[in-house]
Each structure stands twice: as C-alpha cells, then as structure tokens.
Amino acid sequence: MMENKFDDLVKIMERLRSPDGCLWDRSQTKEDIGKYLLEEAHEAIDAIEEGKSEALREELGDVLFQILFLARMSEESGEFDISDVIDTISEKMIRRHPHVFGDTTVESVDEIRSNWEEIKIRSEGKPDRKGSLSYKIPRSLPSLARAKKITERASMVGFDWDKKEGVLEKIEEELEELKAALGKDGGPLIKEEIGDLLFSIVNLCRFTDVEPEEALRFSIAKFIKRFAFIEKSLKDEGKTLEESSLEEMDRLWDIAKSRDDAKR
C-alpha cells in the first residue's frame, strides 16, 4: 500500500515536469528547488516546535515533494533517479549501523558516534573531519548553527576552553572590545566585534548544551508574544502604537514579562 502511494507521487512529479505538464514546474531549476527545500524544512521545524501534528504532516509532504522534484530533474539530465537515491541512503544506513544490522557490539551513544565516523573514513573513503574544519558543514546553514558545528570541530582537536567560565571571560572581553568600537564609531569594526561577540555566545551555548538557533527562536517568539500583548492592551484602551509613549509600552511590557515569570 505504501509503495503504491509513493509510486503515485512519483508519477505526479513526472506529469508536472512532462511537456504537457505545468509550465511553472517545467521552468524551475535545481537552484530554485534548493531554496524551496530549505524553506520547507524550516516550516517543518516550526511545526515540530509548535507541536502541530497536522501541520507537520503537511510540511513533511512538502519536503518530500522538493526531494522528488530534484531527483526528477537529475533523472531528466541522465544523472540518477529517485530509486538510486533510495538505494544509496539504504545502503549507507545499513553500513553505518553495524550494531543493528551486523554483529558489532556497542555500549554507549559516544561509541556509536565514534564507529560512525570511523566507517565514513575507513569504508567510504570520506576525509577525516578532524583534518578539515569546515568539511561538509553547509554554507547555507543558518550562521548560528554553522558556528556551533565549526566550534565543535575545533574542540575535537583540542582547540577549546576547559570549562564554561573561560567562555564567559571571552564574552566579557568581546563585549569590552565592542564598547570600544562603538566609542570610535567605526562601522566595519563594530560589525566585526558584534560578530565576535555572537561567535563567543555560540561557544557558551555549546558548553551548556543549548542549541543557539533554538534559543534565539525561543526569544523571538517570546518577544512577539509580549509585543502582541502591548498592541492588544493599547487597542483595548483605544490607542495605537503610534499614539502611545515609550513609557506606556514599557509598562505593558513589564506586565507581560511578569505574567511569563509567574508561569515558570
């Protein structure tokens, strides 16, 4: 049953890309679909974080469709088709899980990770990622996520602090350098110092097992929620944001914040 449904979706994709299909679908490039794939993946993450199962079901379908789109384009150019994609990932997952599909014994998640990396190097001929800081860290990743992965790589070869207190000292150092740059009113230097500060904060996230992207998304959502409270409260008072003073908005912000604090 599942196989038939998948085949039906593949045929829909083929029809859309056929000469008598959809003009828009036929005009897309791999670069176009790559952007849509990234966008749909982010929408799927939103659905996960919001706990909306119906939305997640729909977004996963959108992600799958972009994958089929790219596979169909590659088939049209004689590179590979969706069957090759499935074969490749199936073989890879079996090969990289010898503790499940073979007779290898493991005792911990760390051992599984170690075996995974060893298989990539020994069996697949992949470069040792310890030897290349940015190997297979996509440039298209959000900057916070990319920074975390890069600092993880550096940590693997011993280029790291011993404890989080050292990271906090680095953050304080970068903050002082930013203050100095602000005092000089140097545009490029300010940008550089803000970047250094953000990079140091990402290191702190790594030391405290916090995903920087998740932390920032949480703060953004919190800001939106509190600002919506300000807008609604002012509207109830017959005012608009433009008609209100900063003091009024600050007062309502503090109320919204105290409500959030009370729920913790």
Q: What is the pLDDT of residues 21-43, one digit of tens each?
A: 999 999 999 999 999 998 999 89
Distant-in-sequence, close-in-space partners of 133: CB < 8 Å, separation ≥ 6: 150, 153, 154
| Cα–Cα distance, 231 to 32 (Å, whole number) | 37
Q: Determine the straight-line distance between the first and last CA of the chain, rounded to whole angstroms.
A: 47
Dihedral (CA of 203, 206, 211, 215) sign: negative
Q: Which residues make Cβ contacts (< 8 Å) with residue 91, sequence separation at least 6?
A: none
CB 178 within 8 A of CB 190: yes
What does the block give as tokens for 89? 């990932």
Tokens standing for residue 5: 């449904």
User: What is the rounded CA–CA span in Å between residue 179 and residue 163?
Assistant: 25
| CA dist list (Å): 71 to 77, 83, 161, 201 | 10, 9, 43, 39
69 and 30 in contact (C-beta within 8 Å)?
Answer: no
Find out whether 42 and 62 touch, Cβ atoms under 8 Å: no
The domains of the chain are located at 2-94, 97-126, 161-210, 213-263
**What does each C-alpha distance from 56 to 3, 38, 47, 220 come to in angstroms?**
21, 15, 5, 21
Neighbour-count burial for 70-88, b at 16+ CB within 10 Å, e otherwise: bbbbbbeeeeeebeebeee
Q: What is the pTM of this model?
A: 0.64
Contact 211, 171 (CB under 8 A): no
pLDDT at residue 128 in the model: 64
Q: What percent of the chain has pLDDT over 90?
A: 72
Q: Is the domain 2-94 a CATH 1.10.150.120 member?
A: no
8 pLDDT above the threshold of 80: yes
Please report the pLDDT score of residue 129 as a whole number: 58
Please, what is the average pLDDT of the chain? Answer: 91
